[in-house]
Amino acid sequence: MSAQFDYWLQADTLYVFVNDRLAAVDLGAGAVRWQVPTGVAIYHIPWWERLMNAESERPFSSSGVTARDGKVLVLARDRCLYVVDDRTGAVAGRQCGLQEPRPGSPLISTPEVTIYRTLDAMVACPLRTG
């Protein structure tokens, strides 16, 4: 299994999502400020689920990260969109059961909605971040 890696650079902070963990890296200090684990670490799909084509239960192979207005958003592999405070790393909200994002699809966020692309459509998550 290869590492999943997405990032967002804002001023002197790099928000990076790798191997199901979101981290804030202070580039000026060269130190990690905080880390937030998400719900999927190593996931193995049992053979009986593969036979039943349990697409709604498998983790995403893609993810996305963005930041604005003091919040970091990560669409994680556990099918959830997390809203995280950019100073403390505290999870301020979460919405789960989402559709898989298209690889490389950016997260576009406003105070009312977060939008991303899937293979077939655009998805709007009404999780409030403002």
User: For the segment 49-94, what is each residue's pLDDT rounded down to a tens digit?
Assistant: 555 555 556 778 788 899 988 999 999 988 889 999 999 999 998 8
Other CB atoms within 10 A of residue 24 CB:
23
β-strand pairing of 31-37 with 64-68: unpaired
pLDDT digits over 15-28, tens only?
A: 999 888 999 999 99
Q: Domain coordinates of the chain in residue numbers?
A: 5-125
Domain 5-125 coded CATH 2.40.128.630: yes
pLDDT at 26: 96
Tell me the residue ranges of DSSP E strands in the chain: 5-10, 13-18, 21-26, 31-37, 64-68, 71-75, 80-85, 91-96, 108-109, 114-117, 122-125
Cα distances (Å, whole numbers) of residue 104 to 30, 34, 51, 121, 130: 27, 25, 29, 14, 25
**Both tokens assigned to 75:** 């669409």
Q: Is the pLDDT of residue 43 over 60?
A: no
**CA 78/CA 98 separation, integer angstroms:** 9
